[in-house]
């Protein structure tokens, strides 16, 4: 097995099963270079790359990404949109400053894992306790120290989100 065989297989598979609704890719690897290569090869109207986390939205857009698909938007959607809009308006300093605030919180999502992320989003939005946990085999996120840690890291953006909501 070699790279040419693997690439050849997937190229053959793609050619045999074209799908007009596949228009882009979500990259969760954080690979800015991959975003740049996708943009160099394709016009975004043909195929585009999206950042897989919001903590690299501004850098990804700088090399041709068209946006992000992020779990953070479940908790702070307006803040994510604010960064996107600031960047697109050419307000790079403001977009970068907002990006830096968001990066710390996105890190908490990553370190908390899937069950920590689900717990903090559900808890922060006031959902019932039963909806705060992932299905098995994920363990319940019940460690009070971990809960306090992740809640503390995501809380600062609540004020920013509220300010944006007040402007709307």
For the annotated catalytic residues, the residue numbers are 26
**Measured distance CA(114)–CA(38) in Å, rounded:** 28
Helix, strand or coil, per DSSP, at residue 19? coil
How does DSSP assign 44-97, residue by residue?
TTT-EEEESSGGGHHHHHHTT---B--GGGGT-HHHHHHHHHHHHTT-HHHHHH
């Amino acid at each position: 097995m070699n790279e040419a065989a693997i690439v050849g297989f997937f190229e053959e598979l793609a050619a045999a099963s074209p799908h007009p609704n596949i228009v882009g890719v979500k990259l969760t690897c954080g690979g800015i270079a991959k975003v740049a290569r996708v943009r160099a090869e394709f016009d975004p109207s043909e195929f585009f790359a999206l950042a897989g986390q919001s903590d690299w939205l501004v850098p990804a857009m700088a090399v041709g990404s068209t946006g992000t698909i992020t779990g953070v938007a479940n908790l702070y959607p307006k803040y994510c949109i604010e960064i996107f809009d600031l960047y697109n308006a050419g307000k790079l300093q403001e977009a970068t400053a907002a990006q830096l605030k968001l990066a710390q919180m996105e890190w908490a999502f990553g370190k908390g894992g899937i069950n920590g992320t689900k717990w903090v989003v559900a808890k922060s939005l006031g959902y019932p306790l039963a909806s705060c946990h992932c299905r098995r085999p994920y363990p319940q996120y019940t460690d009070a120290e971990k809960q306090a840690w992740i809640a503390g890291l995501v809380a600062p953006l609540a004020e920013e989100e509220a300010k944006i909501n007040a402007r709307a």
